[in-house]
Amino acid sequence: MLRGKILLRINRRLAMTLIFVLLLIFTFLYSISFASQNVREAIVKVYTVSNSPDYYNPWSMQGPRSSSGSGCIIEGSLILTNAHVVSNQTFLQVRKYGDTQRYSAQVVAVSHLTDLALLTVEDSNFFEGEPALSLGELPETQQEVLVYGFPMGGDMLSITKGVISRIEHQPYVHSSNVFLAGQIDAAINPGNSGGPVLVDDKIVGVVMAGIPSAQNIGYMVPVPIIRHFFKDLEDGMYDGYPSLGISIQDMENEGLREYYQMETEMSGILINQIVPGSPADGNLKIGDVLLSIEDYTIGNDGTIEFRTNERTHLNYVIQQKQIGEDIELTFLREGEREEVKFNLSRSLKKDRLVPMEQYETLPSYYICGGLVFCPLTKDLLNIWGSQWAQSAPRELVCQLLNNIPEKEDQQIVVLLKALAAEVNQGYQNVNTWVVDRVNGEKIWNMHDLVEKIENSQEPYIIFEDQWNKKVILDKEKVTESSQEILETYRIPLDRSEDLLN
């Protein structure tokens, strides 16, 4: 009898414990379901109509094109998405998860460098009662993530699961610039762009690209880049990323390190070029060996350890800074260790001779005697398609091998093509030709080209390349034929707006 009572008490305790555990599990699952439902309600689909410039006919546009992407609601009645989802947009709408109505939206801020954009909706009903997602922390490798969005294959919300494969610097497709990126193995397809990558219902990244030729390799803009974007906007203006202004060379070769008098325990990278007018100009010299940046020791391969046993490019440290902040460097000059501190006062975009992709900007052009001149840009190279490196003219592609200007505001001026007319007879097959001089004088940019042509008192306009090949036009005939050529080819002006003044 006593044994039976003891067993009954034990069974009751077991039953109560079991009920308690089940209640905990139910509460946990309910909270997950509730949180997931809140997340779903914060996801939006973005509908975009865009119109991009035609860089081969720089006075024209390509025409409207429709596309869609994803985004999520964040604090401040804002929507976070990719810049490439809304670039060159002419009409923008968003639709909430589970809703049928589309709302007109506007771009509040955009970072084309890091492929991020913020949108808002004027109709206050859009955000009323909707949850807002917040930012989390940079996830660890192999940490599980969820990707939310509206990819191709259906119209309903898609949720895929994966892990963070690695975190390192990668080229961003939208800008051709290299920034910290997270690689994920969750399924990503067209339409996922701009959707959040979540850990514990917090944003750890924004989907930006997938690799169609690979199996489940996608990339996200990680949360440190998103935080930098938000901090930059605190003063109401987006400034971008600062530039140090140097070109570097790895020092993995022992003989190279010995030549520059590096001690055995030292590691670093060699400065082989300095951009004119950059923060480094006057503070560092060609031949200096950069040993550390802030508190990070630089490896001989140009990387720093940003987390334990995880390395990425030293630009990680520079890209944590805002324009106008100071940076501290330690370097070796002729065997002597030195330190310097200076202000990162200049934007990254001024460092390049050939600008990378530009958006919401019309191409620069000038027409003289039916000859169309424009600056060399990555957008111009893109007219040869995604394989432009193989299909574009060698003379243009090779300009990217050392993409550093000799002086500030320098451009490479290209004779793009000839609009056939009597005044340019014999030159109608001349195209994508880099112009070096006008009437014997070096030209540095498009403004310089226009000024030298229009201020010249010579009877002929002589264009030359660096190998002394010449294109010569009669200036009087150029003046006489100018308006007729524009009317024949239905071109409104002989130059772009940036060259009117």
Q: Indicate the range of 66-80, 106-120, 143-157, 470-484 predicted with least confidence.
A: 143-157
When computed from its CA atoms, the radius of gyration of the chain, rounded to whole angstroms, is 29
Exposed / middle / buried, residue 427 (Cβ in 10 Å: 0-12, 13-18, 19+): buried
Which sequence positions are flagged as catalytic?
84, 115, 193
Q: Which of 331, 346, 361 is the last residue of a domain?
A: 346
pLDDT at 167: 95
Q: Are 233 and 94 in a shared domain?
A: yes
Range of the domain at 446: 353-499
342 is a domain residue: yes
13 is a domain residue: no
The chain-wide mean pLDDT, for the chain, equals: 90
**Alpha carbons 326 and 345: distance in angstroms, whole number:** 9
Counting residues of the chain whose pLDDT is more than 90, the rounded percentage is 80
Q: Which of 418, 413, 421, 417 is nearest to 441 (CA)?
A: 413
Q: Are 311 and 453 in a shared domain?
A: no
Q: Given pLDDT bands bounded at 50, 70 and 90, which one contains residue 21? A: very low
**Alpha carbons 36 and 148: distance in angstroms, whole number:** 11
Q: What CATH number does residue 71 fall under?
A: 2.40.10.120
Q: Which of 372, 379, 330 is nearest to 352 (CA)?
A: 379
**This prediction's pTM:** 0.87
327 is a domain residue: yes
Please check the confidence at residue 70 and state whether its pLDDT lies above 70. Answer: yes
Q: Which of 354, 373, 353, 375 is nearest to 471 (CA)?
A: 373
Q: Are 202 and 291 in a shared domain?
A: no
For tokens 């007018």, the residue is: 277
378 is a domain residue: yes
Q: Which of 316, 346, 376 is the last residue of a domain?
A: 346
CB contact at 8 A, 113 and 175: yes
**Alpha carbons 340 and 290: distance in angstroms, whole number:** 11
Q: What CATH number does residue 359 fall under?
A: 3.20.190.20
**Alpha carbons 148 and 135: distance in angstroms, whole number:** 15
Strands (E), 172-276: 178-184, 196-199, 202-210, 218-222, 246-249, 269-274
SS3 for 479?
helix
Report pLDDT digits (tens) over 266-304. Answer: 999 999 999 998 999 999 999 999 999 999 999 999 999
pLDDT at 278: 92
Report pLDDT digits (tens) over 330-349. Answer: 999 999 999 999 999 988 88
Q: Are 95 and 231 in a shared domain?
A: yes
8 is a domain residue: no
4 is a domain residue: no
Q: Are 137 and 49 in a shared domain?
A: yes
446 is a domain residue: yes
pLDDT at 16: 52
Q: Where are the alpha helices (DSSP H) in 179-222?
A: none
pLDDT at 37: 65
Report pLDDT digits (tens) over 114-169. Answer: 999 999 999 988 998 888 999 999 999 999 999 999 988 788 899 999 999 999 99
Q: Given pLDDT bands bounded at 50, 70 and 90, which one contains residue 314? A: very high
Q: Are 124 and 183 in a shared domain?
A: yes
Q: Are 434 and 468 in a shared domain?
A: yes
Q: Are 83 and 220 in a shared domain?
A: yes
Q: Are 287 and 334 in a shared domain?
A: yes
**Alpha carbons 155 and 206: distance in angstroms, whole number:** 20
15 is a domain residue: no
Q: Are 309 and 405 in a shared domain?
A: no
* Structural domain total, the chain: 3
**Alpha carbons 413 and 375: distance in angstroms, whole number:** 5
pLDDT at 11: 52
Q: Where are the alpha helices (DSSP H) in 219-301?
A: 223-232, 254-259
Q: Are 68 and 165 in a shared domain?
A: yes
Q: Which helix (H) or strand (E) holds 327?
A: strand 326-333
9: Cβ contacts below 8 Å, ≥ 6 apart: none
Q: Which of 239, 268, 295 is the last residue of a domain?
A: 239
Q: Are 64 and 210 in a shared domain?
A: yes
